[in-house]
Structure 1
Amino acid sequence: MSFKGEDLSVSQEWSNVYVSPDLTLKEREQSKQLREELRARKASGEKDLYIKFGRIVPRPPRLLNSTIDLDKPDIILLVEVIPKALKAPVLSPRLQIPNYTSYTNFDPDAPLQNSTRGIIIYITDSLNSKEVSFTTEFQEQLWVKIELLNYSYLLIGTIYRSPSTDPNVSISKLCCVFKEVLESRPPYLLIAGDFNLPGIDWSDDNFSGNSYEQEFYDTVQECVLFQHVNEPTRFRPGSSPHVLDLVLTNEENIVKSIKYSSGLGLSDHLCLNITLSCSPITINQSSDVLSYNFNKRDYMKLKSLLNETAWLTELQDLNVFQSWNFFMQRFKSAMECSIPRYHKPQCRKLPYTNHKVIDLKHKKETLWKRFRRTGNHLDHLRFTEVRNSLRPLTRDLRSKFEMRIAKEVKTNPKAFWRYVNSKVRVKPSIPTLVDESLNDTEAATDEGKAEMLNKFFTSTFTRESMDNIPEFQDCDFVTSLNGI
């Protein structure tokens, strides 16, 4: 009877026995020397070493950690984090990453369910984030909200739809989740994950004929979502590549670029490196503007601080620019000590507002504060009356303003496009440029794009030959130019 080495190692009787491959005498001697060298190097303090192909090499780092060290992402979305055969708890310490806050759709310290594959979202600690839940039942979903500037936020959802579930039921529930999320009207929405819908060809909107694929595609169109993945994300030997991982957003220009790289570990799915064009609020950062509060200024202190400087002595050896910089430095330092600052909310004035609208808004805020202070029913009626009169007024002014700029679009196009751009939440940017003349060299940074565009523009200029420059001959003028 024959046994494999892995079968013998399970037995307690053979646990300390190493079964080596069939080697020649010379190969055994070399292997023995390598093992002795490996023990000696580990004893001297070297770590993460192992024997590979007859050489002692450093053990490669964990792929996720190496990806974090290389790319330094702010957000990490992972699906299928639990192996299928795993029964014991994952344990939360094993899921922690330094300087990241983790969110999961399962309890890592509880016994696992067979149907759960697990989703994890990592958010860097420098961002303000919190988990969000929705009422629609769909097991493999996880939602996190990240605060952005100007009192906005980015809602991130990670989805995993198992191919072993009933597609008609799971897709129907998933479509209900999408509709519920859109009803909350998030300013910025990003949905990513493994949807396992290989029958949809997103490049030309073709389907394999399944009704659930048509239902999912129609829901994406109905919710006005944009799908950004245009390359296969899953490769497996013996089967054709498919687009199983999707990236959906409610704004087309929020995704600046997507880079496709090899998967983590033994996964046959690619990693998607997504660059977003939005400005998050970092820790200890406010969306308000820090302004001077001149109502609480101390001009006498400001004057005394400025008098402490011997201006004639300090400025006598400086030129104009140096004198100006020196004065502004001292003046700003004195202002910081004598004029307090406060957080001024950033409020954008609408182009169609007038004094009547501003007065009604102030009156509404005043009545609301009075009602909250007193709780009187009459104060609430006064607030409701002003609020109900303000809303129709703003709608009428906006309608008239839009009609006017639409009529004047040919004579005043700048006003039209200024208003249109003010309604766009994501500003379009120049994408990554590719120079075909230099072996498809890419320019992703602003400096690289400027250099590539400058090189292209200068290539269209006419280059005059400097070899044959004509010589000008002196001419005798009979009359002179007396005036213009």
Structure 2
Amino acid sequence: MHDCDIDIMAITESWLLPSIPNSFLSVQGYHPIARTDVGDVRKHGVCFYIRDNIPFISIDSNCPNTHIVHLVSLKCYIIVVYRPPSNTQNDNTALINLLEQFCTGKEVLILGDFNLPAVDWSIEDVLFQDYDPLTLAFTNCFNTIGLHQWVDFPTFTSSGNTLDLILSMETDRIGSVESLCPLPGCGHVPIKFTYHFTFNTSQDGNVCIKKRAWERGKYKIIDNHVSQIDWDYEFCHLSVDAKFNRLLQILTPLIDSYIPLCKQLSPSSPLSPPTALKKNRTTAWQLFKSTRRFYGRHSKQCTQALENYNIINRQYRNHFIYSQIAYERTLMDNLKRNPKAFHQYIRNKKVGAPSMGPLSHPDGSLVEDCAAMAEIFVNSFSSVFKDSCPNPFPHQTFQGTLDNVNITYSAVYRP
């Protein structure tokens, strides 16, 4: 994903089960995976990987093998769909009803494997041909919604059919559409395309989010600044929204000054294959496609080109295995010189929040027990609430006492 500079990846037939936690599927630089599993059925399921600087909300579709995300800042919805051949008539009807009802009045992009092999998307007026009842139901659905399909090349290598579709309501949004090399052991061709938006990242602030190392903040300095602010004066005669905006105006410069940004790690993984191998793999795949198109699928030239591609593809797959072994051996050899790299690698392999702790106890010792760490957090949180102000402003002090205060119902109640 990093090598291809992908912002959003939609995956069909994810084969994910509920027993597989999201921590096993995390990718650096991306939000936690957004997924829809189908019980204990392995060959089903869909999911999204979305860059962590793109805010989104998952929407429940109440339909199996579909997942909907709302790109909040871009005001666009994306639906990933996998329609397995085993779908019943009720399942297909539910999917069609979902698409027709949800797409009304929204900008929607639909991606996925619809398993409609009878449709030849390379011809004109493809939605108005005579098809079997199932295919006709979906093409009528696409035509009713006003969708345009952009993939006009085979996406399933063994049959040469176009099963994976890109359906958009806006015809001026789609840029380039290209096929990538199939992943090892997969018969489908990954599709990469661009979708253009019009927005200003410098003024919005919701698209580009700075990640800060909150654990390294200089909170004593911030506390010193905050304690010298006359909050009664700052919030006087302001509405709730205006108070919140004023609070942000005060805190934002302090955050920029005393909370450092996270270090920008290189997106390339230590396990990434060399550029020459990736280039050879891409070249072999393009050569196979051109040979198949020129000589035919069953020709000797096409068979030889496919065999050459499979040889390079196996080298590409084995590279990750051997690179991981070599990388882990390097971590072990450098354990004494660079223990942080080793422990960070181990933490990424664990489930849950293994990076939490140990915490420093007020007595100076380090605490790793979960209950003791929770108690430290509680005490730290409660410490911000004080019975008295050490340096009060004049209008915040009162030397007298309140006696004989009588609060009546009629004085409080406002009909």
Question: Which of the five TM-score ranges fits, normalised by the shorter chain?
Answer: 0.3 to 0.5
The structure carrying a bigger strand percent of its residues is: 1
TM-score, L = length of structure 1: 0.39
Q: Which structure would you say has the larger Rg?
A: 1
